[in-house]
Chain A
């Protein structure tokens, strides 16, 4: 029996068209059905979600929302819960990722949305989160209240399990009505999350809808782009440019494009005691979701002068990628993915033959590869799917100037270095547009409240209505109690 995904209220399932998506990523073939609403149905859904957002969502305190989301997340963290079990069963079959990776990844990611963490999201952006509930004093004087959009249109992409939950939770916290278009590669988690949330609070469930249409089919997108107050889109730069161009000028469009993230390893992390652990942590960030996240490392810069040389580090890394095949076996790749890996490998292997000071370490079965070089010239993306470049540098301070030309694409840097080095590097990296610095093994597990691409999860979604001091002062004159 084909599982119906997506989620919406107020439209008869029987009058809806459904499209079957088939997946066969080597872990058991599966088919799911996603809803393809007509333009009329979508318009009516927009109206409905907006109305519920205005009449219900905007009237309940943020702390209630936090509790509802927390209850939903607690269910997903409970491995005996049927929704969690469905996710653990289906995500490997849909995405191809190893079941262990999914199991551990889900728990690690969903912990970010427990109550304590949701309060972190709020405090990070609002010094006084009550500003989302009612007018509050502003630091500059006067009063302000933050209003989320009546309709926030999300466009999700890629196959990192649960990615949509980040922006969906952000939308809910600012009391936005949410309609999200899932990616064909991972249509499951947004659907399950919304369904469970709606079971816990049916009226909140009416403020969300999860839909789908074929990529490149503009007519449905037009409906949402016209109806939404705010658009939030993930994807590659071409797609994002098109979306932004088709969004009305009066509607804000927030975009999250592809990024290159990388790691930096100081000689202080390369003594004979700690160097293996450093390689182990670096490898973990590479294998988690096969580098499909914007925060996944594609390059490691390794400093010379430690007890363990950069070349030896590259060898440790290669061994660790092989060891991770035991813990998290590689998924089978699509033709496009395999081709991208193959051409990158070929190119790197050729360089290793023809150029000096290079080495190429690879799994004969093609599941991972490490390209090592002692001359960090131009940088470029890796082939993804467990392909990594390791550059030896005389000093980590050389790195910012090497990566500077790619400022628009930089995001996360994983650093293994001493505290003094960390701060010094952070200021260099911040100056060239890096927006997140983490430890190794944590590049791919951002914390609650993370400023995604340096932006503000919640603040970016709201408008503030301010009552100026002048208005307050003027009103005093008209009160009953004027002497």
Chain B
């Protein structure tokens, strides 16, 4: 029970990758805050699973693209638990990965880029600003941001979204540099295609086979594959690792 009694906030964890991460923490004894925006049924189901697995869970509805709702979210957690140990920035503005109907560069407006920067960076930025004082008080804390291996190798160029994810990696490194002296670590995980999730539901077989053919471990990631590395980065086993990006794509990208 590596995370016994630790309070873990996973944004956007009612289903998909977020839910897999939440359940993995719960299986190691953590108390997981399952943040969701709309799908309360899914959030409740995930919370139930977390309890079955040996941890505990609390569901809190909050739209993390709103500074106000972020403050309320953190306040509610502190009220119930007096602390937060780990923050996993998983929620992002819904993006459909459609390799056959994506916006080409000439169709991608600056506003599209801006929206993704807001969607990806703003919530991570605001959550970090809100949580860091809490971490600093205990000179301890752990932040894990979910990036993407498409930053290193844009197999399909999703211009706006991946530019924002690239910015997230830069953001994380700079933050790691500064808060390291408070004993706070900041790392990223970069999954490749994860199936099935809301964003990848319509991925065609041809693209999956193309990726599999180039992947040393010869398969596509399932949501559960992302959980292990996140837990590693959240644990004392990675106690001397910060500012890093761990690629979870079966070796498709090697950095």
| B123-131, B138-146, B213-221: which lies at the interface | B213-221
In the assembled complex, B205 has its CB within 8 A of some CB on chain A: yes
CB pair B218–A276 under 8 Å, yes or no, is: yes
Give every chain B residue within 8 A of A280 (Cβ-Cβ).
212, 218
Contact yes or no, B205 A320, CB < 8 A? no
B222 at the interface (CB under 8 A from A): yes
Taken together as a complex, chains A and B put the C-alpha atoms of A154 and B217 apart, in Å, by 46
Chain B: residues with Cβ within 8 Å of the partner, total of 8
| Contact between A327 and B218, CB atoms less than 8 A apart | no
Q: Is A323 among interface residues, defined by CB-CB distance under 8 A?
A: yes
A236 close to chain B: CB less than 8 A: no
B-chain residues with CB within 8 Å of residue A319 when the two chains form the complex: 218
Q: Does A104 sit at the interface, judged by CB under 8 A?
A: yes
Interface hits, B187-207 → A, CB 8 Å = 205
Contact residues of A: prevailing secondary structure: helix
Residue numbers in A under 8 Å from B212 (CB-CB): 280
Q: Does A277 contact B (CB under 8 A)?
A: yes
Knowing A104-B205, A277-B213 touch, does A320 contact B218 (C-beta < 8 A)? Answer: yes
Q: Contact: B219 with A327, CB < 8 Å?
A: yes
Minimal Cβ-Cβ distance residue in B for A99: B196
Which residues on the B side are within 8 Å of A327 (C-beta)? 219-220
Residue of A nearest to B221 (CB): A326
**Residues in A265-299 with C-beta less than 8 Å from chain B:** 276-277, 280
Q: How far is the CB of B212 from chain A (nearest CB, A)?
A: 8
Q: What is the CB-to-nearest-CB distance from A288 to chain B, in angstroms, rounded to a whole number?
A: 13
**B217 nearest in chain A by CB position:** A323
A 6-43 contacts with B by CB, 8 A: none
Residues of B within 8 A of A326 (CB): 219-220, 222
Q: Which of B212, B217, B219 has the most CB atoms of chain A within a 10 A radius of its CB? A: B219
Contact present for B213 and A323 (CB under 8 Å): no
Q: Which residue of chain A lies nearest to B195 when distances are taken between CB atoms in the complex?
A: A327
Closest B residue by C-beta to A276: B218
CB neighbours of A104 from chain B (8 A): 205
A308 CB, min distance to chain B CBs, angstroms: 15
Shortest CB distance A285–B (Å):
15
Query: CB-defined interface of B124-164 with A at 8 Å, one 1/0 digit per residue?
Result: 00000000000000000000000000000000000000000
Which residue of A104, A277, A323 has the most chain B CB atoms within 10 A of its CB atom? A323
A104 to B213, CA, bound (A): 19
User: In the bound complex, how far is the Cα of B205 from the Cα of A55, in angstroms?
Assistant: 46
In the assembled complex, the CB of A283 is this many whole angstroms from the nearest CB of chain B, namely 10
> How many Å from the CB of A27 to the closest CB on chain B?
15
Per-residue CB contact flags for chain A residues 300-330 toward chain B (1 = under 8 Å, else 0) read 0000000000000000000110010011000
Residues in chain A near residue B205, CB distance under 8 A: 104
**A326–B221 CA distance with the chains assembled, in angstroms:** 8
CB contacts (< 8 Å) of B219 on chain A: these are: 323, 326-327
Distance of A277 Cα from B205 Cα, bound (Å): 15
**Taking CB as reference atom, which chain A residue is nearest B250?**
A323
Shortest Cβ distance from B222 into A: residue: A326
| Most interface-central of A277, A319, A320, A326 (chain B CB within 10 A) | A326
User: How far, in Å, is B83 (CB) from chain A's closest CB?
Assistant: 37
A319→B212 CA distance, assembly (Å): 13
Residues on A with C-beta less than 8 A from B218 are 276, 280, 319-320, 323
- C-alpha spacing A277/B218, complex, angstroms: 10
Nearest-CB distance from A441 to chain B (Å)?
10
State in angstroms the CA–CA spacing of A147 and B213 once bound together.
Answer: 51
* Nearest chain B residue, comparing its CB with the CB of A104: B205
Question: Across the interface, which residues of B come within 8 angstroms of A323, CB to CB?
Answer: 217-219
Q: In the assembled complex, which residues on chain B have CB atoms less than 8 Å from the CB atom of A276?
A: 218
How far is B213's CA from A375's CA once the two chains are assembled, in angstroms?
32
Distance between A243 CB and nearest chain B CB, rounded to angstroms: 39
Point out the residues of chain A lying under 8 angstroms from B220, CB to CB. Answer: 326-327
Residue numbers in A under 8 Å from B213 (CB-CB): 277
Q: Could you tell me the distance between the alpha carbons of A280 and B217 in the complex, rounded to whole angstroms?
A: 12
Query: Which residues of B have CB within 8 Å of A277?
Result: 213
Within 8 A of A (CB), among B224-247: none
* Residues in chain A near residue B222, CB distance under 8 A: 326
Q: How far is the CB of A368 from chain B (nearest CB, A)?
A: 14
User: B56: shortest Cβ distance to chain A, in Å?
Assistant: 27
Give the docked Cα–Cα distance between A220 and B46 (Å): 50
Q: State the Cβ distance, B221 to closest chain A Cβ, in Å.
A: 9
- Closest chain A residue to B205, Cβ basis: A104
Render A72-109 as a binary contact track against B, CB cut-off 8 A, 1 for contact: 00000000000000000000000000000000100000
Q: Which residue of A lies closest to B208 (CB)?
A: A327
Of chain B, the residue at the smallest CB distance from A279 is B218
- Shortest B170–chain A CB gap in Å is 32
State how many angstroms separate the Cβ of A262 from the closest Cβ of chain B: 24
A-side contacts of B217, CB under 8 Å:
323
How close is B197's CB to chain A, nearest CB, in angstroms?
14
- Closest chain A residue to B209 by CB distance? A280
* Contact surface of A with B, Cβ cutoff 8 Å: 104, 276-277, 280, 319-320, 323, 326-327
11 A-B interface contacts by CB (under 8 A)? A104-B205, A276-B218, A280-B212, A280-B218, A319-B218, A320-B218, A323-B218, A323-B219, A326-B220, A327-B219, A327-B220
Given contacts A320-B218, A327-B219, 13 further A-B contacts (CB under 8 A): A104-B205, A276-B218, A277-B213, A280-B212, A280-B218, A319-B218, A323-B217, A323-B218, A323-B219, A326-B219, A326-B220, A326-B222, A327-B220
Residues in B lying within 8 Å of A, measured CB to CB: 205, 212-213, 217-220, 222
- The list of the 4 closest CB pairs from A to B, nearest first, reads A323-B219, A326-B219, A323-B218, A326-B222
